[in-house]
Structure 1
Amino acid sequence: MPETIWWKTGTVYQVYPRSFQDTNGDGVGDLPGITARLEHLAWLGVDAVWISPFYRSPMADFGYDVADYRAVDPLFGTLEDFDALIAEAHRRKLKVILDFVPNHSSIAHPWFVESRASRENPKRDWYLWRDPAPDGGPPNNWLSNFGGPAWTRDEASGQYYYHAFLAEQPDLNWRNPEVRAAMHDVLRFWLERGVDGFRVDVIWHLIKDEGFRDNPQNPDFAPHQPGINRFSQVYSCDRPEVIEVISGMRAVLREFGERVLIGEIYLPVERLVTYYGPDLEAADLPFNFQLLETPWQADAVAALVAEYEAALPEGGWPNWVLGNHDRPRIAARVGDAQARVAAMLLLTLRGTPTLYYGDEIGLGHVPIPPDRVQDPWERNEPGHGRDPVRTPMQWDDSRHAGFSAVEPWLPQTEDAERRNVDAMRDDSRSILTLYRRLLSLRRDHPALSVGGWRSVPLPPSLATEVFAYERFEGDETLRILLNFGSAERSIPLEDDAAKQETWSVLLSTRPGRAGEATGNVLHLSPDEGVVLRAHPSS
């Protein structure tokens, strides 16, 4: 794919539809709400909107238990509302990416209803049914990602069905060619309506071990970790055959031109990069979640970036994520000051960045009172719930922050009167303004959108606190310096005397420095990041 294809040069913005904008007064966001707020995304400067599931669903897992892959759940609107959203997004030059949930359906899906009807039903093999173990218990030791066993006994037939997540989410059998064909037709249904690509949910789970062998004990398991970590998931996911499945999906997308296939993958770097597939035939962008788990320290992040860049297959396009609907928000992890540094990191690294709604206004951890807990994972394994990262967007200083006319489905921040789009939009010092300026910088400078990347060595005394790297394209070189520490640092800029370059500040996370000439040393304030432009000396 050429470097100029839209999903390489652009920036993706994730919307959790329950929490973006409510237009019908039920306290839950909807598709017309997303349409109504597209102007914000265009103003911000992103290029694509990725929408989490809105399909018809009993909502056992908030839409990730799909009962009809070709219908919009009435909670979110109608197919006509979706068509209007697509039209309005495309009118604003915004691409639309949908969440595709192929690993499992709902128990309410007609396919599973038929599969469950009898052992002889033609759709029995569309799901993963197994006889009990000799003692009558589950067929093997596989666990659910949401706590407890991953097998549920069906009393009528005496067999167990497998579910990697909730019992209400039975896994489909992707070894069955009929399942593949049916799911490919689902992709075509949405592509024909104008969708520009898909983010594929838990893509590394799609194929399981054919022999259903027990997973081995995880020697690194600690009691505070989720129960799923008790075993190493070597047989229940990340099987080599999955690449063929992903390649089949990608072939469907290629029938429609320049569409993108993004895969959700929580795996170490060395396994993550294999999901590009041989000759880059599988996922266009295997989601890189490494920043969600790496310690927020300059040397640790620098090592991660170098490792990832070195591991990419030739031609593989990188991507970066700071937050999503499953993991604590970046501002909650690193604090308000470092959230600004994180924004600069995300939007200046090489590759496609994905922003999570609300990060542009610095939303952090939102406490959820026990009586308002919604997430089934929190109910199964307290302390692991995802509600705090799914709270409603904050638009203005009105009641419920402009999200809804009624009490939202989840609470908002206590400082919503100040932490909202309207309050920050015209504030030159706000994190919202910083995000907009960074996105503008990416559009204006090919060095940031498609250019190369290289690390800049610093003295050991600085490298533990400051991450330095360059982006370059043609005759332009930009240097990024990120201070992860709370003390001022003096950074030498001339690492190669033969270059004879001078530098000026293009953008700083601290307002007022743009255009500043730096000399041979840059004084970096605590919690500050800067983008410098090189100027050859005369």
Structure 2
Amino acid sequence: MNPTFFPSNNTHRAAWAAVLLALWLLGCAHLPTGLAPPDTVKPGAVMYGVVPPLFGHKPLQDVTARLDYLQELGVDIILLSPINATDDPSSISYSITDYFNLRPDFGNVEDLKQLVGEAERRGIKVMMDFVPNHTSTAHPFYQDVQKNGKASVHYDFYDRDNAGQITHYFDWVGLPNLNYDHPEVISMMTRAFKYWIHVAGIDGYRADAAWGIRQRAPQVWHPLIRELRAIDPGVIMVAEAGARDPFYIRNGFDLAYDWTEELGHWAWKPVFERVHRAGSLIHEALTKNQYAPRAVLRFLNNNDTGLRFITRYGLDVTRVAAVLQHTVPGVPLVYTGDEIGAEYEPYEDPPPIAWEDKHNLRQLYRRLAGLREALPAIHSGDFIPLPPRGGSSAYAFIRIADRHNWALVLLNFDLFPEMVTLYPPKDIVELISGSALKDALSGTRMRLSADGAGELKMHLDAYTAMILIPEQ
């Protein structure tokens, strides 16, 4: 769910939160053991966002039935959109009424256990999209507050503003914020996170609106995640928050979203709205305030992006963007149907997908997943940008693990061909120049040679994506 700022809370609570935050910041100079996230996401991993009802009318069972398909696609982790009990019958609902039960229209606990078990047999991890920031107004806690007011034992379970009114973000009037200064709220939510690890073997969580809890009670996340890793050291944690804020990785999250400093704003959006300047815009997005580039969740689509990328920008740009998504540092999130160019809006309750690959995209996605796994340069190599100068629609970078394992990625996002001039450092020129190269996507073989000034020139056709690797 997409974030925005909300007015401050009551004075007393804000003052106490400020004290806690100051103590936390003081401790950040020497991070305690376990604060840095463990190596829970394997190098080269591909995550797949699953909207269960788009898989069929028996959602959890139908996801299980397509695990062979996802395995063949090269998926390592599936992330289920919220499956907890809700009062909202929509395909995707963040209005939770019970954190310890599932939506009956999606399936039961046995269905979930079967899904996790079958996924594990195929080497695929299963994560849940969890909603700790708020409850539904239909949640029993909130209903008790409405009925009994200050006499309710749950009265202080909800965050309140200076006027004593329960807070919420945006226009989410039906999604009241929980009060994480209350120890029983922290205890309840920690038990809920642990529950699905114990009961179903869940491998991790996406924490919806993690930014909201960070605003109101930043002291919560580190000890909560530490408790989860005491049960399963390999639990994967994804923050719905911007990866440019170091807070999340410092507090145990493995991944956060590819947003700008402004919450909810996709860092790559300007690239595709002004493709004639794609080179400089990509360069800015990939290099500005990058705290931990390998901890960035790279997406073209997710639950909040509305119309699918292919609908907005077309098939040709989609192909080039998919190559970018899979070859830069970070973990690509392929969302339900991306690999076949499915067109829908997640919150408009689309029908189950037909899985017809009418754009012939699946082979590209499978190839990219395979290259991420096979090439050390792509899955864990250093990232060296080689941006063409001027207002170019093209971009280039090299991923390098060592002198024998490297990949030069060349991209042109526009419908016009581009003569690209690259200005690599001298050691990169020596590495590339004269080498026998092969495009890992098309199989085309070539050699690149620098001129006397150390410049590399290359003609890129319209909508080109190349991954040049040394011939073995």
Conserved in 2, the CA contact under 8 Å of 1:503 and 1:532? no
Deviations 1:466-485 (A, max 9, x none): 01011111221201111011
Residue 124 (structure 1) aligns with: 155
Computed over aligned residues only, the root mean square deviation of the Cα atoms, in angstroms, reads: 2.7
* Amino acid in the other structure paired with 2:234: E
Residue 101 (structure 1) aligns with: 131
SS at match of 1:320: strand
- 1:245 maps to 2:220: yes
Q: Distance in 1 between matches of 2:462 and 2:400?
A: 26
Q: 1:22 aligns with which of 57, 60, 84?
A: 57
- 1:505 maps to 2:466: no
SS at match of 1:469: strand
Conserved in 2, the CA contact under 8 Å of 1:162 and 1:171? yes
Question: How many residues are treated as equivalent by the alignment?
Answer: 411
Quickly say closer, same or farther: Cα 1:302–1:49, change in 2 above 3 A: farther
Conserved in 2, the CA contact under 8 Å of 1:253 and 1:260? no
Residue 516 (structure 1) aligns with: 445
SS at match of 1:69: strand
Quickly say closer, same or farther: Cα 1:519–1:3, change in 2 above 3 A: farther
Q: Distance in 1 between matches of 2:409 and 2:396?
A: 6
Q: 1:387 aligns with which of 348, 352, 359?
A: 348
Conserved in 2, the CA contact under 8 Å of 1:8 and 1:317? no
Quickly say closer, same or farther: Cα 1:10–1:314, change in 2 above 3 A: closer
Residue 285 (structure 1) aligns with: 255
- 1:177 maps to 2:105: no
Conserved in 2, the CA contact under 8 Å of 1:7 and 1:260? no
Residue 161 (structure 1) aligns with: 166
- Structure 2 runs not aligned, ≥5 long: 1-35, 260-265, 450-456
- 1:528 maps to 2:464: yes
- 1:465 maps to 2:365: no
Residue 196 (structure 1) aligns with: 203
Q: Distance in 2 between matches of 1:195 and 1:50?
A: 10
Q: Distance in 2 between matches of 1:122 and 1:44?
A: 50
Stretch moving more, 350-359 or 242-251? 242-251
Quickly say closer, same or farther: Cα 1:310–1:492, change in 2 above 3 A: closer
Deviations 1:198-241 (A, max 9, x none): 0011111126xxxxxxxxxxxxxxxxxxxxxxxxxxxxxxx2x5
Q: 1:479 aligns with which of 408, 425, 446?
A: 408
* Amino acid in the other structure paired with 2:52: P
1:259 Cα deviation from its structure 2 partner: 1.1
Residue 296 (structure 2) aligns with: 318
* Amino acid in the other structure paired with 1:502: S
Q: For 1:59-74, what aligned pairs fall within 5 Å after superposition?
A: 59=88, 62-74=92-104
* Amino acid in the other structure paired with 1:243: P
Q: Distance in 1 between matches of 2:217 and 2:311?
A: 34
Conserved in 2, the CA contact under 8 Å of 1:13 and 1:355? yes
- 1:47 maps to 2:47: no
Conserved in 2, the CA contact under 8 Å of 1:72 and 1:79? yes
Conserved in 1, the CA contact under 8 Å of 2:83 and 2:128? no
Deviations 1:240-262 (A, max 9, x none): x5432221332122111111111
Conserved in 1, the CA contact under 8 Å of 2:268 and 2:282? no
1:80 Cα deviation from its structure 2 partner: 0.6
Q: 2:237 aligns with which of 238, 252, 261?
A: 261
SS at match of 2:410: strand
1:322 Cα deviation from its structure 2 partner: 1.3
Conserved in 1, the CA contact under 8 Å of 2:238 and 2:255? yes
Q: 2:364 aligns with which of 406, 426, 434?
A: 434
Q: Distance in 2 between matches of 1:300 and 1:126?
A: 47
SS at match of 2:419: strand
Q: Which has the higher contact order (CA 8 A, sep 6+)?
A: 2
SS at match of 1:174: coil
1:169 Cα deviation from its structure 2 partner: 1.9
Q: Distance in 2 between matches of 1:185 and 1:98?
A: 15
1:305 Cα deviation from its structure 2 partner: 4.7
SS at match of 2:87: coil
Residue 416 (structure 1) aligns with: none
Q: Distance in 2 between matches of 1:246 and 1:301?
A: 37
Quickly say closer, same or farther: Cα 1:10–1:3, change in 2 above 3 A: farther
Q: Distance in 2 between matches of 1:306 and 1:129?
A: 39
Quickly say closer, same or farther: Cα 1:391–1:98, change in 2 above 3 A: same
Conserved in 1, the CA contact under 8 Å of 2:440 and 2:468? yes
Conserved in 1, the CA contact under 8 Å of 2:279 and 2:387? no
SS at match of 2:414: coil
* Amino acid in the other structure paired with 1:527: Y
* Amino acid in the other structure paired with 1:435: Y
Quickly say closer, same or farther: Cα 1:503–1:334, change in 2 above 3 A: farther
- 1:341 maps to 2:341: no
1:519 Cα deviation from its structure 2 partner: 4.0
Give the helix-richer structure, 1 or 2.
Answer: 2
Q: Distance in 2 between matches of 1:76 and 1:103?
A: 22
Residue 374 (structure 2) aligns with: 444
SS at match of 1:470: strand
1:106 Cα deviation from its structure 2 partner: 1.5
Conserved in 1, the CA contact under 8 Å of 2:294 and 2:329? no
Quickly say closer, same or farther: Cα 1:528–1:295, change in 2 above 3 A: same
* Amino acid in the other structure paired with 2:146: R
1:127 Cα deviation from its structure 2 partner: 1.1
Conserved in 1, the CA contact under 8 Å of 2:419 and 2:458? yes
Quickly say closer, same or farther: Cα 1:49–1:305, change in 2 above 3 A: farther
- Structure 1 runs not aligned, ≥5 long: 24-29, 132-138, 140-158, 208-238, 367-374, 376-385, 396-419, 425-429
Q: Distance in 1 between matches of 2:39 and 2:84?
A: 32
Conserved in 1, the CA contact under 8 Å of 2:225 and 2:252? yes
Quickly say closer, same or farther: Cα 1:274–1:309, change in 2 above 3 A: same
Conserved in 2, the CA contact under 8 Å of 1:204 and 1:242? no
Q: Distance in 2 between matches of 1:298 and 1:47?
A: 35
* Amino acid in the other structure paired with 2:393: E
Q: Distance in 2 between matches of 1:301 and 1:523?
A: 15
Conserved in 1, the CA contact under 8 Å of 2:135 and 2:175? yes
Quickly say closer, same or farther: Cα 1:204–1:360, change in 2 above 3 A: same
1:294 Cα deviation from its structure 2 partner: 2.6
Residue 489 (structure 1) aligns with: 418
Residue 222 (structure 1) aligns with: none
Conserved in 1, the CA contact under 8 Å of 2:40 and 2:235? no
